[in-house]
Copies of this chain bind each other. A is one copy, B any other.
Amino acid sequence: MQPKISVYIATSLDGFIARSDGGLDWLEHDSGKDDYGFYEFFGSVDTIVMGRGTFDFVVASGQWPYAGKRMIILSSTLTISSVPERLRGEVEILSIEPGLLAEKLAGEGATHVYVDGGITIQRFLRAGLVDELILSRMPVLLGSGIPLFGELDSDIALEHVETRIFDSGLVQSKYRRRDS
């Protein structure tokens, strides 16, 4: 059975997931306690897939909030010897197309895959593999940065499932693949 493949990500109103230098300061907010439903989402996930750029960012943060999940890093250049020792048992590094990865994960019993990081999300979208897109918009325009979305071979029509509003002004909409 195919696992469900989800994206859960926040952008500025103008569609950036980070400043050009990776900065996420604009995403912080006063209430502090609201996790925007992330804890619940994360609890439902058994596998995480991210690209090398996002992994490097996570490593640099010094934190590793992914314990207990299967973590796959998509990279054709990263080697396990260049992963910090404390994380070597935590990650698998694969160089594989999204479609083949989805098949592989299905065969290995994955049920819910969380795809993270701009380029990796774009690759999965372009391959038509994203079943669920949980998109949060912060009420700020940045003007420049790292965009969430990229080019596509054709339109992707989605179905709106629900929208939640948070005190910070964040608007979170959940979409699912429109069966065609």
Contacts and interface: CB of A to CB of B under 8 A. Distances in A.
Interface of A: 13-15, 26, 125, 135, 137, 139-144, 148-160, 163, 165, 169-171, 173, 175
B143 A173 contact: no
A173 B175 contact: no
Contacts of A160: 139, 165, 169-171
B152 A143 contact: yes
Determine how many copies of this chain the complex contains: 2
Contacts of A150: 143
Contact of A155 (B141, B148, B156): B141
A144 B151 contact: yes
B141 A125 contact: yes
A170 B29 CA distance: 26
Contacts of A13: 135, 149, 158, 175
